[in-house]
Structure 1
C-alpha cells in the first residue's frame, strides 16, 4: 500500500508560549544552582527578552509569508501582485455635475474657478466659464462625500455682481469615489490571475469595466447588437447613489470607434478604458441596465413589525438584489426568502408578494428593489 501524504500546517507560537519554553529551557540547561527561573531573576529576565526577540522574528516571517501570495498580501505587496496583471488600485475621484445660475442679464458670465458651496460646507469649483448660465462643476476634494442628489441646495461661495447666490443642480452630483478598499482590490487582483491566458473572454470585459473607479458591477452580453458586438452593462452603486447606482451618461462606444455612436459620461469612461484592451475586431457597446423595480408586500411580522426591523429587511433585500440580480437573468423566490430569513431578529414573517420567479422582459432589464409595504 502506498503511504498517504501528510501535510502539516505550521502554527506560529504565541509570545506566552515562547516565554514558557525559554524559561523551561533555562531550567533544563543543567546550570548549577538553578532549579527554577524566578520571575524577577536576572537569568529569568534575559529569557523573557529572548522570547520577545524570537516572537518578533516569527511575526516578521509570518508577515513575509503572507506577502508571498496575492490572496494574503497587503499594501504595496498586493499592489505589486496587481501590477503583474495590470490591475491597479482604483484612485479616489471627484464628483461632477451641471449647474445653472440665475443672472440679471444673459451676458453675465460666472467665471471658471468660481466656488460653489453645499450647506454642510463641501466645496465645488466651476470647470469653465458659464454658457447660457450653465457650467460644469467638480468637487474640490475627492471622495464619496462629494456626491449629492439633484435637488441639493447650492450657493455661490463668494458674491458675484449680477448673479443670484442660489445655484441649481441640473443633474445629480455623481462620480465621486474613495480610494478602493483593499479587500475589493484583492478580489479584482485574484480574478485577474484566475482568468489569465487569453484576451476577450467575458470575465476579462467585466474585470476591465470594474477597473474604472466608479464602476462596482458589470455584466457582458454576447452579440447584443449583432454578430461581433459585445454589450457591457455597468452599475456605479456607491458613486451614483443619487441615481440608485445607475450610470450617468448615454450608451455607446469609445471615442475612436467609428462603427457606433460614441457614449457619454460614465459609459464613455468605461468604453475608452476598454478600447485600449479589447480585441481589435470587437464592437464594444457600454450600456446602462434598464431598471425593473420589484415591489414587495411583507406581513405577519407580529411584535417584530418595528421601524428598525423594517429598515433591516429593506437593507437585506437591497443587498440581495446587488449580489444576485443581473440584466436579463431570472431571479428565483428562494433568493429573497434567504435574504429575509437570515435576519436573526425576525422569527416570523410572510412574503405575500412576489412569490414567483422574476423574469426580466429583455436582456437589458435589471431587477432592483421597488417599494416595500409592511402589513400588520
Structure 2
C-alpha cells in the first residue's frame, strides 16, 4: 500500500496542536503571534521534505524516473535517448553549364526551414546541378522532423550564386529528420531492455536495435521473411514522417555495408529512412543474417458505426486509431473486442453498434499494417 503523504494543511494543524499542547493555559497561535508564524514555517519546511523524499522515491526505479535519472537507468543497460537529427537529401538547381554551386550555400524552403549544401557541385550538360543538402540543426537540439519533406519540394537559394538560378526543388525525399526522444517513449525502451536479455540476434534484439534509431517509433521482426537466412524488419516513423502517415519514405532493402565477397552488396540496397535503419543494424546483426528493412503496406480498415453522437465522433475515431497504433502489426490480427472497448471509454457514448467490420478479429495480409480507414456513421 503506498504511503499517504500528508497535506500542507494537515501539517499546519499538527504543528499547531503540538504548540498548543505545550503552552497550557494560553493561546500561542493568535493571528500575529511569533509562534503562529513559526508553526506555518515549520509545516512548510516539513512539506518540502516530504516532496523531496517523494522525488527521490520516483527516481529510484526506471518505471517512474524522469530526465537525467531515467537516462542513467537506461545507460546502465546501454540504452541512450535518441537525439534530434537533421533531415538530408538532394536538391537540383538550374544554371549555366560549368557554373559551380559551392558547399555551405544556404538553401531555404517556403516555410523558412534552411538547409546547407553538403558537397559542392557543377552545372552539367543538362543545365542543372544536383547536390546533397542537410537541414540546419536546431541550436537547442530538440527538433529535427520539421526538415523532412517529399521529393519535388520547392527550394530556393538563400544567397545569390553566380550562374545558378535561385529556384530549385528537392531531387529526392528529404528524410532522416527526427525530434529529441521524449521521456515516455524512451522509458518504454529502457524498461524493455531491463526486461529482455540480449540474445545476439533474437526477434526482440532486432526490434530493440531498430527502435534505437532516431525517428523510429515502432518495429517488428519477421524471421525468414524473404526466405531462409533472411530477416525482415518492419519500421514506422510516426512522428518524423507524420506527413506520410508514419510510413517510412524510401525504398526497401539492405544496408550498403552488408557486403559479400569482393565488396558487393548481398542484396538490393535500401534508400531513405529504410537505409538509415539498415545501416544502424549492420554492425549489430549476426554476420550470417541478410537483413532487409521494409516499410509496411498500409491496410486501411473501413468502419460502419451506429449510435455515436456527432459531438463524440472525432474522439471515437481517435480511440480506434489508438488501438491500431498499440496493437497493430504487419500481417497480424486485432481482436474486434478491443475496438468495442475503446469506443465505450469515449465520453458521451452510451449506446453504439459496430456494424462492420464484423466477426472476432481484424486480420491483415503478410506485410500489411492495419490503419484506420473511412468511417460511415449511422
Alpha-carbon distance in 1 for matches of 2:332, 2:309? 36
Q: What is the correspondence of 1:184-203 to structure 2 with a 5 Å cutoff?
A: 184-196=185-197, 198-203=199-204
Which residue is equivalent to 2:250? 249
CA distance in 2, matches of 1:129, 1:62: 56
Structural mapping, 1:316-331, within 5 Å: 316-331=319-334
> Partner of 2:364 in structure 1?
360
- Specify which of 74, 83, 94 is matched with residue 66 of structure 2: 74
Q: Pairwise mapping of residues 1-376 of structure 1 onto structure 2 (< 5 A)?
A: 8-29=1-22, 31=23, 33-103=25-95, 105-130=96-121, 132-142=128-138, 143=143, 144-150=145-151, 152-196=153-197, 198-259=199-260, 260-261=266-267, 262-294=269-301, 296=302, 298=304, 304=310, 311-345=314-348, 353-355=356-358, 357-361=361-365, 363-370=366-373, 372=374, 374=376
Write out per-residue CA displacement over residues 191-238 of structure 1, whole angstroms, 9 at most, x where no aligned residue.
110112643332222111111011111001112233343221111111
Per the TM alignment, residue 303 of structure 1 is displaced from its structure 2 partner at its CA by: 6.8
Is the partner of 1:209 in helix, strand or coil?
helix
Report the Cα offset of residue 311 of structure 1: 4.9
TM superposition shift of 1:145 = 2.3
Cα offset for 1:9?
3.0
Number of residue pairs matched by the alignment = 361
SS in 1 for 2:216: coil
| 2: CA distance, partners of 1:48 / 1:299 | 58
The CA distance in 2 between the partners of 1:286 and 1:280, in whole Å, is 16
Task: Name the CA distance, whole Å, in 1 between partners of 2:308 and 2:299.
Answer: 30
TM-score scaled by length of structure 1: 0.84
CA distance in 2, matches of 1:125, 1:197: 40
Alpha-carbon separation, structure 2, partners of 1:319 and 1:51: 45
* Structure 1 unmatched runs, 5+: 1-7
Structure 2: any 5+ residue segments left out of the alignment? 123-127, 261-265
1:314–1:171 distance in 2 versus 1, CA, 3 Å: farther
Q: String of CA shifts for 1:10-36, please: whole Å, max 9, x gaps.
A: 22222221111111111122x355345
Residue 355 of structure 1 deviates from its aligned partner by: 3.8
Does the 8 Å contact 1:87/1:188 carry over to 2?
yes
- Contact kept in structure 2, 1:172 and 1:243, CA below 8 Å: no
Aligned mates of 1:169, 1:249 — CA distance in 2: 14
Q: Which moved more, 1:308-317 or 1:115-124?
A: 308-317
Aligned equivalents of 1:79, 1:237: Cα separation in 2: 23
Q: Pairwise CA RMSD of aligned residues?
A: 2.8
Partners of 1:135 and 1:320 in 2: CA distance? 42
Instruction: Give the TM-score normalised by the residue count of structure 2.
Output: 0.84
Secondary structure, in 3 states, of the residue corresponding to 1:163? coil
Q: 1:248 to 1:197 in 2, by over 3 A?
A: closer
* Alignment CA distance shift 1:101-1:320 (3 Å): farther
3-state SS in 1 of match to 2:100: coil
Q: Distance in 2 between matches of 1:106 and 1:313?
A: 58
